[in-house]
């Protein structure tokens, strides 16, 4: 059934969305790719708020746009479930736990060193391996059910393994669209695009606002250097120009803040280290940076401004992209291209499972055993992700103790 024939999606409440996203914000370790795995489990398989195809379409859209793909995806899921209030509830629930933690780190600045801490961080990386492996397995079954789409997914994965990076990711999705348009026209089951409460007019307003802030904030910041407006411009520009996830934003922020004397290199790197130890989006690193560079007594305000302007461009550009994406879904050739993009998304996730997730997490046969056990707990025995987090961290601590 295509999207034009379906009725409106079931409506929920903003409080329902906030509670669901807050649970994810408290437990989603492992970075943006792992977050998409958590989202797939929570929103598609457990709650049924979207079909696998709808979820893949939203992921593909957000992967093709600048900004934090997992936060954009979560915002759009909340928007679909409970309207505009649901979108902002989804963003707040997923973002606030890590933002509060990063703000607290800026105030307390504890010494985050030691063998035990390293073991905990290693255990969290193993959780990411298990979660993303389960997401790839589940999405491949739904989105690559035939040889043509499986070949598109494998090609996308191979391309990213040969040459990783945001540009290659965009190329993989574009080639997936081309492959789908050429080879997937005969597929009966077309992707069902989510019905979203975003008109063409609203999308156009979001695009104009996105571009106006991108041009205007840096100009205003130059007139008032090291001011709150200057800070907002730095974080807005970083959020607007980053493709490929939270880690890509770090060199941009480093170059904008450290050489200009906002904070020291050691303070910047300490915050980055702390950001690896908490769940939720890495973009909440901005909350730490805003508080660290703030004048005395203004740390909460500056932290909030840095956080808001870090995420704002990604939300605006996602809203701007929705009407065009929905229009494409009404045309047969476009629907075939979307089927190819969906297959390529599986390849993108599969490549990321290997590099950086597997490469950075797996260093021994014991690591393989822990990650494999986590995968089986999730996929075969349906154990909650938080319990898998606890298992992996405890196993990593025991492993470190006996080495």
> Is 112 part of any domain?
no
Question: What value, to the nearest 5°, has the Cα angle with vertex 204 and ends 202 and 210?
Answer: 105
Task: State how far the Cα of 27 lies from the Cα of 279, in Å rounded to an integer.
Answer: 6
> Is 191 part of any domain?
no
pLDDT score at 353: 85
* 8 A C-beta contact, residue 50 and residue 82: no
In the chain, % helix, strand, coil (3-state, to 5) comes to 75, 0, 25
Task: State how far the Cα of 336 lies from the Cα of 269, in Å rounded to an integer.
Answer: 45
> Is 168 part of any domain?
yes
> Is 2 part of any domain?
no
> Is 5 part of any domain?
no
pLDDT score at 4: 40
- SS3 at position 56: helix
Task: State how far the Cα of 208 lies from the Cα of 387, in Å rounded to an integer.
Answer: 44
> Is 7 part of any domain?
no
Tokens of 182: 């050429």
> Is 256 part of any domain?
yes
Task: State how far the Cα of 391 lies from the Cα of 124, in Å rounded to an integer.
Answer: 10
Task: State how far the Cα of 284 lies from the Cα of 280, in Å rounded to an integer.
Answer: 8
Neighbours of 107 (CB within 10 A): 12
Domains contained in the chain, number: 1
Residuewise pLDDT in 10s, the chain (403 residues) = 344 434 456 688 999 999 999 999 998 886 777 899 899 999 999 999 998 888 988 888 887 788 888 999 999 999 999 999 999 999 999 999 999 999 998 887 545 566 777 788 788 788 888 888 888 898 898 889 899 999 999 999 999 899 876 678 779 889 998 999 998 876 654 444 567 888 889 999 999 999 999 999 999 999 999 999 999 999 999 898 876 556 557 677 888 898 899 998 878 877 776 787 788 998 999 999 999 999 988 999 999 999 999 999 999 999 998 887 766 656 778 778 878 888 888 888 888 889 877 988 899 999 999 999 999 998 899 887 778 888 998 999 999 988 7
Phi/psi at 227 (nearest 5 deg)?
A: -105, 175
How confident is the model over 247-304, as pLDDT tens digits?
A: 557 677 888 898 899 998 878 877 776 787 788 998 999 999 999 999 988 999 999 9
pLDDT score at 336: 84
Task: State how far the Cα of 113 lies from the Cα of 215, in Å rounded to an integer.
Answer: 41
pTM score, two decimals? 0.76
> Is 114 part of any domain?
no
Phi/psi at 381 (nearest 5 deg)?
A: -105, 5
Domain, as residue range, for 299: 12-107+119-184+197-403
Task: State how far the Cα of 393 lies from the Cα of 391, in Å rounded to an integer.
Answer: 6
pLDDT score at 14: 96
How confident is the model over 352-369, as pLDDT tens digits?
A: 889 877 988 899 999 999
The CA-based dihedral angle spanning residues 233, 234, 236, 240, taken in that order and rounded to the nearest 10 degrees: 130
Neighbours of 200 (CB within 10 A): 12
Task: State how far the Cα of 79 lies from the Cα of 195, in Å rounded to an integer.
Answer: 10
pLDDT score at 220: 94
pLDDT score at 163: 87
């Amino acid at each position: 059934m295509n999207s034009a024939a379906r009725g409106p999606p079931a409506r929920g409440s903003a409080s329902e969305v906030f509670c669901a996203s807050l649970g994810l914000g408290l437990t989603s370790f492992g970075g943006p790719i792992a977050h998409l795995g958590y989202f797939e489990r929570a929103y598609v398989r457990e709650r049924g708020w979207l079909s696998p195809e709808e979820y893949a379409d939203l992921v593909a859209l957000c992967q093709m746009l600048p900004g934090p793909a997992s936060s954009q995806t979560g915002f759009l899921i909340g928007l679909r479930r409970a309207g505009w209030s649901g979108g902002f509830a989804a963003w707040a629930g997923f973002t606030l736990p890590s933002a509060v933690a990063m703000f607290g780190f800026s105030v307390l600045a504890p010494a985050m060193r030691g063998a035990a801490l390293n073991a905990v961080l290693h255990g969290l990386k193993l959780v990411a391996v298990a979660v993303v492996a389960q997401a790839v397995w589940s999405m491949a079954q739904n989105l690559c059910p035939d040889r043509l789409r499986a070949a598109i997914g494998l090609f996308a994965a191979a391309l990213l393994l040969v040459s990783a990076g945001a540009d290659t990711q965009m190329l993989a999705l574009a080639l997936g669209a081309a492959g789908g348009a050429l080879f997937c026209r005969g597929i009966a089951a077309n992707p069902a695009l989510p019905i979203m409460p975003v008109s063409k007019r609203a999308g156009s307003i979001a695009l104009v606002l996105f571009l106006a802030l991108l041009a205007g904030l840096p100009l205003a910041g130059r007139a008032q250097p090291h001011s709150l407006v200057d800070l907002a411009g730095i974080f807005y520009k970083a959020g607007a120009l980053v493709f490929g996830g939270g880690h890509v934003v770090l060199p941009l922020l480093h170059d904008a803040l450290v050489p200009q004397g906002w904070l020291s290199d050691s303070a910047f790197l300490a915050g980055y280290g702390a950001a690896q130890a908490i769940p939720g989006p890495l973009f909440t690193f901005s909350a730490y940076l805003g508080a660290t560079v703030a004048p005395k007594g203004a740390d909460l305000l500056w932290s909030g401004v840095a956080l808001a302007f870090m995420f704002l461009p990604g939300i605006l550009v996602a809203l701007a992209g929705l009407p065009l994406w929905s229009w494409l879904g009404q045309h047969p050739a476009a629907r075939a291209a979307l089927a190819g993009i969906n297959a390529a998304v599986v390849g993108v996730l599969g490549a990321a499972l290997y590099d950086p997730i597997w490469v950075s997490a797996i260093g021994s046969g014991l690591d393989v055993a822990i990650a494999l056990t986590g995968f089986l707990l999730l996929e075969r025995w349906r154990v909650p992700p938080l319990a898998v987090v606890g298992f992996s961290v405890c196993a990593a601590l025991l492993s470190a103790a006996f080495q």
